[in-house]
Amino acid sequence: MYKRVLFVTMILIIIGLVISGCSFPKSEIKQESGSTQTLISNLAGQSASTTEKSSEELSTNQSIEYVDGVYEGQSAFTSESFYGKAKITINNGQISDVVFNIYDNARDRVLDDNYSKEVYASSPDYQEQTKNELAGIIKYNSGLISKQDVNKVDVISGATWSYNIYKEVLANTLKKAEK
């Protein structure tokens, strides 16, 4: 009888540990630095807290009027010292041009094809992630010009990190252009 109670108790403890272990938020799971999973988790989750407020502040109301001119803005730094910069041109009250880049402040470099090849030369996974982010940036710029509303720009799968930075920069920059 004692063995049976001990056995059932052990099984319940194991089930409890498995269930509680599966419910930890990703931020509490310690990962090896430099691993592909760390990069992907960081890229996907970075800047979300800083852009949450900014994206809420942007209105989807089409009645926002912009003053013609050229406006520049910058995001806050991510936890790995990356930040975004945007330059937006407004003509006849419409967004007519967008230039957006992400910068690596630690290396004093812009994120581009050469960056991924040089900085992540030994990691094809990092190179691929950077390539996805860069492809997303191109689509975000053209999407904003065609839709005229940052909240209607579609998120590109595999490029959510750049999207979060993009929305933050655009929120800051478009506020400067509002009448």
How many other CB atoms are there within 10 angstroms of residue 160's CB atom? 19
pLDDT averaged over every residue in the chain = 77
Asked whether residue 163 is domain-assigned, the answer is yes
Is residue 82 a contact partner of residue 93, using CB atoms and an 8 Å limit?
no
Has residue 59 got a pLDDT over 60? Answer: no
| SS3 state at 22 | coil
**pLDDT band per the 50, 70, 90 thresholds, residue 84:** very high
Reported pTM: 0.63
The predicted pLDDT at position 9 comes to 75
Distance CA 143, CA 88 (A): 13
Q: What is the pLDDT of residues 32-53, one digit of tens each?
A: 333 333 333 334 333 333 333 3
Distance CA 156, CA 136 (A): 6
The predicted pLDDT at position 8 comes to 72
What CATH number has the domain bearing residue 134?
3.90.1010.20
Asked whether residue 6 is domain-assigned, the answer is no
Q: What is the mean pLDDT of residues 109-134?
A: 90
Domain that holds residue 168: 66-179
